[in-house]
Amino acid sequence: MTNVAVVGAQWGDEGKGKIVDWLSERADVVVRFQGGHNAGHTLVIDGRTYKLSLLPSGIVRGKLSIIGNGVVVDPWALLEEIERLRAMGVPVGPDNLRIAENAPLILPLHGELDRAREKAREEARGGTGRIGTTGGGIGPAYEDKVARRAIRMCDLADRPALEAKVHELLLHHNALRRGFGIPEVDPGELTESLLALAPRILPFVEPVWMRLAELRRAGRRILFEGAQGAMLDVDHGTYPFVTSSNTLAAQAALGSGVGPDTVGYVLGICKAYTTRVGAGPFPTELHDETGRLLGERGREFGTVTGRPRRCGWFDAVLVRQAVKIGGIDGLALTKLDVLDGFERIRVCTAYSLGGQILHHLPAGLTAQAKVEPVYEELEGWRESTRGARSFADLPANAVKYVKRLEELVECPVALLSTSPDREDTILVHDPFAD
């Protein structure tokens, strides 16, 4: 049996929560390795809906859940999420949740800076300059990590070190706040608020790299859970309209403290169409009735923000690119049932830019905004695919659609999801079996 990394192959919101929940039954441990509470995973279990942001999806199944060092953690948001799950009857404690001692913290000042920057961008460009962040402070927290001034989990156990680090942090942030006209942060108040959290947070904290090494030695199966999607990767996504971390499977090792050989199979999640939240290029976006219908049928609203998602046809160019840069071995195709009833379905197979045909998304911002999709049209199906649990249950044209996507993205479909219910899943290849 191998360890598996689950990552998004589009712009996030692909349905990773359900797939991770489905796979967690076969895993012993589930690890979050990047992102923050801007991630949103929705699980539907026995008719009950669970919405997670920071906690690994395996927590609902009672699996050992680990938040790795690659995650930026808002401790207030984390404690609130823990209490919310406990109120729903899900046990969450130090026995089944562990947090990396070197994970950086998101502080209130990070969210305030995040929102101030978005407002300033909007005002400077007449309402069009927003990047589209959630305003939760994830980007500024990663900035502080890279600049070596972050407050980390381990600092909560060392008052002298915490006081010194808060002072160093505020040398930078209070100067920024003065520039934005925001009141400065009092170092004593920030220190005391963090120390007040310490007794509630520290019982979860440990060097998780050591635990993961022990688990590997014992032959335990590990599921690495990514947040966001490949096209939001800070290096390989539609920069600058991206998140502030690496979202590809390679980050699973760095973001949890294991070697690169730990991940044996990479499962990429993608919808049978395409969605995006926030600003940025979206070549196949539909501004017509079809786009509205996709959003309505797919209930396309952000788990964290509630913002409506932009919708469009499946972009095989983007997913093929995600497969290559992310080392994806197989795909989990979700929301096939949303396409039920369409007479004709379009798939983007290439881009046109200034009369030139491209088979990749260029890195340049201007070029990304100008590419035009080149479509191939396929026959739709009248019958319902919702709830199908084998290929024999699918309409012939739905099977043809799936097979054509496999050809275009140069990657096989390992799992096929036909509704939010975890049991409505067609298993073609078990990722843990490699």
Q: Which residues participate in catalysis according to the annotation?
A: 13, 41
Assess contact for 23 and 48: CB atoms under 8 A.
no
Q: How far is CA 370 from CA 76, 288, 348, in A?
A: 41, 19, 15
Q: What are phi and psi for residue 303, nearest 5 degrees?
A: -65, -40
Q: Considering only CA atoms, which of 221, 257, 298 is closest in space to residue 15?
A: 298
Report helix, strand or coil for 235.
Answer: coil
Between the alpha carbon of residue 30 and those of residues 27, 212, 417, the distances in Å are 7, 11, 20
Gyration radius of the chain over CA positions: 22
Q: In this structure, what is the dihedral angle of CA atoms 32, 36, 42, 48, given to the nearest 10 degrees?
A: 90
* Contact indicator for 102, 68 with CB cutoff of 8 Å: no
> How is residue 339 annotated by DSSP?
G
Return all residues near 125 (Cβ < 8 A) that are at least 6 apart.
Answer: none
Token pair, residue 355, equals 């009369």
Identify any residues that bridge with 222 across adjacent strands, giving them in sequence order. 29
Q: Token pair for residue 394?
A: 């699918």
**Exposed/middle/buried for residue 146 (C-beta within 10 Å: 0-12, 13-18, 19+):** exposed
The structure tokens 């940025």 sit at: 280
Contact 139/116 with Cβ under 8 angstroms?
A: no
- Please say whether the beta carbons of 326 and 414 come within 8 A: no
Where do the H-state alpha helices sit in 263-354? 289-297, 316-326
Evaluate the omega torsion of the peptide bond into residue 420 and state whether it is cis, within 30 degrees of 0.
no
